[in-house]
C-alpha cells in the first residue's frame, strides 16, 4: 500500500550545481527541530558510489553518513542511472516497473518517520528521456516542491518560470524558491527585487543564502581522488580546503610569497629546490601555510627529498599528469560536499538555519497530509 500520509517535500533546482544538495543537507538539520525522525530519498541518481555491491547515489551516501538516518541505504537511492541505463530503457521501456521501485523505496524510507525529504537531480526536466523527470517523480510521490536557483534577479526568475511550467504541467505545486550563492554585498537588494519578481509568478521567496567561497573550494581529499593521485606521506590534513592554486614555475625565492593559507602548490617532482623551500617553515617549527602539494610528471624525488616530504604535515600527492593537466583538472572540479568535510557541513547547517524560512516550508508542506 502506498504511503500517502507521511509529510514530504521535494527539493529541485533550476540547473545542475545550483546548490540543491547543499540546501537539502542544511534542511535535514533544520527540520529535526520539528520532526525528530526524518527520512531521505533521492529517487533518481546519476553519480554514485559502490556500497556492498549496491550503486548508491553519492548524495544519499552523504546524508546517511552525516545524519545516521536509520533508513535502508539502497532504498534511499532506488534508481542509479549508469552509463547504459538510458539506452536499455529506450530499447525496452519499463516505466511501470521504475515507478513501482520508486514507491517501494519511498515506503521503506518513510517507515516510522515523521517527515521525508526527497531530493531531485538537476532541473525539472532531467530524467524525461526515461519518463522519470523531476516533475514526474514529484507527482508520483505526491510531493510539493521547493525550487533552488542561483542568486540574482533576471536569469534566476526566468529559469524558475521555465521549471514552473513543467511542474505545473504535471500538477505539482511549487511552495517556494530559495536563492543560493548570492553575493554578500547584494543580499538585501536581491532579496527585495527577487521577492517582487517571484510574487508576480505566484511564487514565494523562502530564503536567500549568501555565497560562501569555502563551499565552492575543493579539499585535498577531492583533489586526490579526482587526480587518482598517490599520497607520499601520511597526513591527517586530507580535508584541508584549497582556496588558491599555484603552478610553481618560478624560482624558489619567488615561490615563498605564494606559501599562504589555503594554497595548493603544483610542481614537477624534480623541482627539489621548491620542495626544500616548502619544507623550511615546517623544519623551523613554524606552522605550515599550505593546504598541500601535488608533484607532477610521475618523477620520484631523491631519497633525501622523499624523507623531507614524508615528514610534512599537509598532504603531498604525486601523479603521472603534467602540471598543466593537474591545474586544469583542479580548476574544472565540480565541488561536492563529502562526509568528512566537517567545517563545510557546519557552515551549511548554519546558513540554512539563518537564511531559510524553514517554518514556512513545514507549514506549506504539512497542510496536505
Q: Are 137 and 44 in contact (CB under 8 A)?
A: yes
- Of 352, 348, 293, 353, nearest to 318 (Cα)? 293
Query: Sign of the CA dihedral 251, 254, 256, 261?
Result: negative
Extract the C-alpha cell encoding 317: 600527492
Give the 3-state secondary structure of residue 208: strand
Q: Are 314 and 224 in contact (CB under 8 A)?
A: no
Fold of the domain built from segment(s) 218-331: 3.40.1390
Q: Are 320 and 230 in contact (CB under 8 A)?
A: no
Task: Report the pLDDT value the prediction gives residue 35, as an integer from 0 to 100.
Answer: 94
Helix axis angle for 220-227 and 323-331, nearest 10°, is: 120
Task: Report the pLDDT value the prediction gives residue 254, as an integer from 0 to 100.
Answer: 87
- Torsion angle defined by CA atoms of residues 56, 62, 68 and 71, in that order, rounded to the nearest 10 degrees: -30
Q: How many CB atoms lie within 10 A of CB 16?
A: 12
Task: Report the pLDDT value the prediction gives residue 16, as an integer from 0 to 100.
Answer: 85
Fold of the domain built from segment(s) 8-212+337-366: Rossmann fold (3.40.50)
Task: Report the pLDDT value the prediction gives residue 287, as an integer from 0 to 100.
Answer: 65
- Of 164, 64, 166, 82, nearest to 119 (Cα)? 64
Q: Are 138 and 145 in contact (CB under 8 A)?
A: yes
What CA–CA distance (Å, rounded) separates 78 from 60? Answer: 10
What CA–CA distance (Å, rounded) separates 362 from 208? Answer: 17
* Block residue for cell numbers 516505466: 95
Q: What string of pLDDT tens digits covers the 369 residues of the chain?
A: 688 899 999 999 998 888 999 999 999 999 999 999 999 999 998 888 888 878 889 999 999 999 999 999 999 999 988 888 889 889 888 889 999 999 999 999 999 999 999 999 988 899 999 999 999 999 999 999 999 999 888 999 999 999 999 999 999 999 999 999 999 999 999 999 999 999 999 999 999 999 999 999 999 999 999 999 999 999 999 999 999 999 988 888 888 888 888 999 999 988 989 988 888 877 677 766 899 999 999 888 889 999 999 999 999 999 999 999 999 999 999 899 999 999 999 999 999 999 999 999 999 998 777
Helix locations, the chain, DSSP H: 20-31, 58-67, 73-76, 85-91, 95-109, 134-140, 154-169, 187-199, 220-227, 252-255, 272-283, 303-311, 323-331, 342-355, 358-366
CATH 3.40.50.300-classified regions of the chain: 8-212+337-366
What CA–CA distance (Å, rounded) separates 98 from 103? Answer: 9
What CA–CA distance (Å, rounded) separates 296 from 265? Answer: 11
Extract the C-alpha cell encoding 148: 533552488
User: Rounded to an integer, what is the distance from CA 331 to the centroid of its chain?
Assistant: 16
* Block residue for cell numbers 541505463: 85
Enumerate the β-bridge partners of residue 362.
none
CATH 3.40.1390.20-classified regions of the chain: 218-331
Q: Are strands 230-231 and 244-247 parallel, antiparallel or unpaired?
A: unpaired
Radius of gyration of the chain (CA): 23
- Of 181, 294, 312, nearest to 246 (Cα)? 294
This prediction has a pTM of 0.90
Amino acid at each position: 500500500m502506498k504511503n500517502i500520509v507521511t509529510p514530504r517535500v521535494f527539493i529541485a533546482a533550476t540547473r545542475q550545481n545550483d546548490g540543491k544538495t547543499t540546501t537539502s543537507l542544511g534542511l535535514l538539520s533544520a527540520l529535526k527541530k520539528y520532526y525528530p525522525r526524518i527520512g531521505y530519498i533521492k529517487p533518481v541518481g546519476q553519480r554514485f558510489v559502490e556500497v556492498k555491491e549496491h550503486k548508491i547515489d553519492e548524495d544519499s551516501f552523504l546524508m546517511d553518513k552525516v545524519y545516521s538516518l536509520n533508513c535502508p541505504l539502497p532504498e534511499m537511492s532506488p534508481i542509479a542511472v549508469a552509463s547504459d541505463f538510458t539506452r536499455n530503457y529506450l530499447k525496452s521501456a519499463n516505466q511501470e516497473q521504475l515507478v513501482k521501485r520508486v514507491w517501494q523505496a519511498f515506503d521503506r524510507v518513510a517507515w516510522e518517520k515523521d517527515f521525508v525529504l526527497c531530493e531531485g537531480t538537476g532541473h525539472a526536466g532531467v530524467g524525461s528521456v526515461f519518463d522519470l523527470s523531476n516533475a514526474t517523480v514529484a507527482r508520483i510521490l505526491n510531493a510539493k516542491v521547493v525550487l533552488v536557483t542561483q542568486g540574482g534577479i533576471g536569469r534566476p526568475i526566468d529559469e524558475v518560470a521555465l521549471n514552473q511550467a513543467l511542474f505545473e504541467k504535471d500538477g505539482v505545486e511549487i511552495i517556494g524558491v530559495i536563492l543560493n550563492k548570492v553575493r554578500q554585498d547584494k543580499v538585501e537588494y536581491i532579496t527585495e527585487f527577487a521577492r517582487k519578481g517571484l510574487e508576480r509568478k505566484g511564487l514565494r521567496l523562502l530564503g536567500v543564502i549568501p555565497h560562501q567561497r569555502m563551499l565552492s573550494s575543493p579539499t585535498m581529499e577531492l583533489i586526490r581522488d579526482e587526480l587518482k593521485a598517490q599520497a607520499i606521506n601520511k597526513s591527517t590534513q586530507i580535508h584541508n580546503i584549497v582556496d588558491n592554486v599555484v603552478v610553481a614555475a618560478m624560482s624558489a625565492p619567488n615561490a615563498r610569497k605564494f606559501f599562504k593559507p589555503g594554497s595548493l602548490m603544483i610542481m614537477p617532482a624534480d623541482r627539489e629546490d621548491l620542495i626544500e623551500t616548502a619544507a623550511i617553515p615546517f623544519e623551523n617549527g613554524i606552522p605550515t601555510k599550505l593546504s598541500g602539494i601535488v608533484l607532477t610528471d610521475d618523477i620520484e624525488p631523491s631519497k633525501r627529498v622523499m624523507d623531507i616530504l614524508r615528514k610534512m604535515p599537509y598532504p603531498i600527492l604525486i601523479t603521472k599528469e603534467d602540471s598543466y593537466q593537474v591545474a586544469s583538472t583542479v580548476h574544472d572540479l565540480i565541488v561536492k560536499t563529502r562526509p568528512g568535510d566537517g567545517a563545510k557541513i557546519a557552515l551549511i547547517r548554519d546558513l540554512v538555519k539563518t537564511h531559510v524560512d524553514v517554518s514556512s516550508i513545514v507549514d506549506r508542506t504539512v497542510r496536505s497530509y
